[in-house]
Amino acid sequence: MDAADMGKDLSSVLISEAELQAKIKELAGQIDTDYAGQELLLVGVLKGAVMVMADLARALHVPVQMDWMAVSSYGAGTRSSGVVRVLKDLDTDIAGRHVLVVEDIIDSGLTLSWLMNNLKSRDPASVEICALLRKPEAVKVPLDVRYVGFDIPNEFVIGYGLDYAEQYRNLPFIGTLAPHVYGGE
């Protein structure tokens, strides 16, 4: 699916496929430098982080393992419920490991600040965050985000893992959805 196939559902392409891929390589370069000589456990947050996880993992040169957590914060709509539930926990014991949480987007930051507390309580050697996208609201929570791809405006975005009602995750770019699709103005 590309921008043309999206037709009138898409209001604009915010970040192109080429821009995404260039940023992933840049982030991977920083991570390779910071974790040189160490082994890294990438923890992807399902389902939104699948694309960034897959591309980031392939761009990294340090040895990595991958594990996944699923937490719920949003339903089918576009607003945070504020409730975090663990739908799938890690398979790995992270005690003594260097953990890098890979996220698609930080909006309110509620999900990640909860997740960071949860992971820190498991005694990892270190735990840091790599988020592809960050919205302006995120500055309100005390969250130390080591790697950020793009700071974006406060709009609902889709593509490259991000969904609206489970659709559009497979778009290779980040777009904004036309308000009529989600019943906006």
Coil, helix or strand for 99? strand
- Rule CB under 6 A: choose which of 106, 129, 130, 171 binds ligand 5GP: 106
Q: Which stretch binds ligand 5GP (CB under 6 A): 22-30, 57-65, 121-129, 151-159?
A: 151-159
Angle of CA points 70, 72, 73, to nearest 5°? 135
Please list the alpha-helical segments (H only) found in 3-134.
3-6, 17-34, 50-59, 110-120
Catalytic residue list contains 107: yes
Task: Give the residues across from 45 on adjacent strands.
Answer: 69
Nearer to ligand 5GP, 35 or 119 (CB): 119
162 interacts with ligand 5GP by CB under 6 A: yes
Backbone angle region of 39, left / alpha / beta, with phi > 0 → left and psi within -120 to 50 → alpha: beta
Q: Which residues are catalytic?
A: 107
Query: Residues interacting with Mg ion, by CB under 5 A?
Result: 45, 48, 74, 104, 163
Query: Residues interacting with ligand 5GP, by CB under 6 A?
Result: 48, 73-74, 80, 103-112, 156-158, 162-164
